[in-house]
Amino acid sequence: MEDNFWSMGDGPGPCGPCSEIFWDQGAVVDGERWLEIWNLVFMQYERLQDGSMRLLSRPCVDTGMGLERLCSVLEGAPTNFDISHLRYLASQVIELQAKLPNATKLNYTSGSSSLPEVTAVKVMVDHVRASVLLLHDGVFPSNTGRGYVLRRIIRRAVRYATK
């Protein structure tokens, strides 16, 4: 059950057994041949602060297939960040970041890498994407709730741009 159990880290919150659906990429990409494209979490427990669990009063199923995961399968892209719309966004992020004074030159190539500049591009791309979706949903930066989350996302992207 350890391998097929989902929780939000080690802290308190809803959790439960899970199942994943994988896509065979045919070749090893990023050390993995199989790409998880969908997960199903059967939320039935609440992990308490002391680590114990109790049954949820209203269990549910959390199902998720990331749009980027589906696109990577359809486009044959080796990673989520190599799909067409995120590659375009990465090129724009790199172009804009290069205009900052004293900016470290960023480079992003296809596939995955743990190089700091590749990680920086991925963080900025992911944070710009998330910020746009939140703004479209009517969320604006503020000091509370979702607005505070948006503010933190933007600040983190800016930190990576100015490193």
Residue 86 has pLDDT above 80, yes or no: yes
CA dihedral 48, 54, 57, 62 (to 10 degrees): 70
Single-letter residue type at 108: Y
pTM for the model: 0.70
Q: What is the pLDDT of residue 138?
A: 97
* Closest-CA residue to 63 (of 24, 23, 1, 19): 19
Distance CA 27, CA 72 (A): 14
The predicted-structure confidence for 47-56, as pLDDT tens digits, reads as follows: 999 989 999 9
